[in-house]
Amino acid sequence: MSKKRVVPLLLLLGLLPACSGGGDLPEETATPTPTPAVEVTAEPSPTPYDGPVSPLSGLPIGEEWLNRRPVAIMLNNLKEALPQMGQSQADIIYEVPAEGGITRMLAVYQSVEGVGKIGSIRSARPYYLELALGHDAIFIHAGGSEDAYTRISQWGVAALDGVRGPYLSNQENGNLMWRDPERKKSYSLEHTVVTTGEAIIQRFAGYTNLRQEHKEGYVYEMDFTEDGTPSGGFSADHLQVPFSHYKTGEFQYDPQSGLYLIEEYGEAYIDGDTGEQVGVTNVVVLKTSIRNTGDSLGHMTVDLSSGGTGYFACGGQAIDLLWSKDYPDGQLFYTDLEGDPITFGTGRTYVCIVPLDSLVSIS
């Protein structure tokens, strides 16, 4: 609706002579109303995180976990035992061949706070003990080869065993480990042993004879940066890593998340606790001598003390690496071919330990 314009009387009188002369009235020019200035406030930049970070991943962590010994848990990886649970929240996953071409994982957690169900938990082998010792970790397992039991005693491994030790219950949350009621409905009994992060925290609080802190001066030699993409590398959007005739791992780089999404046995590698596909920031492949011991059970020996070559992938790029480890409790050290230490991308790491003749494909 238009408004009638009211013209003041004096203004009309002033215009009368012009009107009597027959001239046109001048057009009225509206004075523009000034637009009030809008004050734009810039969004404050997010404050960079400067709190404590996990020495195993560079990810934020509670102060109380910084000097704690990590927890290293043996995980089953038979097809019929899948899905694993809780592995997606491990700082580092080691996968190594075992007898018959199968593989098992060692999941290493600096903190288990907030981690749900973890499992299924299986038996130990000597080379998994070496990996756990390299982290000064507390080792959780359910059984082991006779050689592994000998090494646990010989090397002084802080091992909590669900078979020959008092750490397993048939009731849910009845001990550090228990046989999961749901898995017992459809899995063989050896595939049912589980724990949770909460159970580990609660039980460890009562283990007064278990050293749970690193000794003074302990330093873990692993460095992280926000973008760990190696310079001077080659394309590594996809890695295919054969462990044996039975198992090949697949790692597909996802630029959107910056993670390598993992597949095994032709399907997505799923965390059965969260339902999500496991993804990691860093993929490491180590080549070494792996051979059958010749015993009746087909147990393997894995050389973790001679060092060797391998690959490091992050951000869709890869480089060749050199690795070394002191026997039996030394840390794994990784360098490029010039001998400079490798800096990892902030996030979780997956370490594949494969035979010397493994035909690893990176493209």
Tell me the pLDDT tens digit for each residue of 73-89: 999 999 999 999 999 99
pLDDT reported for residue 259: 98
Q: Give residue 25's pLDDT.
A: 42
H-helix segments, 21-77: none
Distances (CA, A) of 255 to 95, 234, 261, 317, 348: 24, 16, 10, 11, 16
Residue 136: the pLDDT is 98
> H or E stretch including 284?
strand 282-288
| Cα angle value 271/273/277 (rounded, 5°) | 25
Give the pLDDT mean for 104-116: 98
Per-residue model confidence (pLDDT) at position 204: 98
Q: Would the pLDDT of 281 be above 80?
A: yes
Query: Taking a C-beta distance cutoff of 8 angstroms, is the pair 300, 125 a contact?
Result: yes
Residues 360/103, Cβ–Cβ less than 8 Å? no
Q: How far apart are CA 63 and CA 52, in angstroms?
A: 6
187 pLDDT tier (thresholds 50, 70, 90): very high
Whether 2 has a pLDDT exceeding 90, the answer reads no
* d(C-alpha 331, C-alpha 325), whole Å: 6
- Pairing between β-strand 159-161 and β-strand 138-141 as defined by DSSP bridges: parallel
Looking at per-residue confidence, does 4 or 313 come out higher? Answer: 313
**Tell me: the pLDDT tens digits for 112-157?**
999 999 999 999 999 999 999 999 999 999 999 999 999 999 999 9
Question: Of the given ranges (11-15, 68-72, 252-256, 354-358), which has the lowest mean pLDDT?
Answer: 11-15
Span 254-276, average pLDDT: 97
pTM of structure: 0.87
- The Cα angle at residue 310 between residues 83 and 123, in degrees rounded to 5: 35
CA distance 251 to 239: 5
- Identify whether the C-beta of residue 108 lies closer than 8 Å to the C-beta of residue 137: yes
Q: How far is Cα 290 from Cα 53, in angstroms, rounded to an integer?
A: 34
pLDDT category of residue 39 using cuts at 50, 70 and 90: low
pLDDT-based confidence at residue 163 (cuts at 50, 70, 90): very high
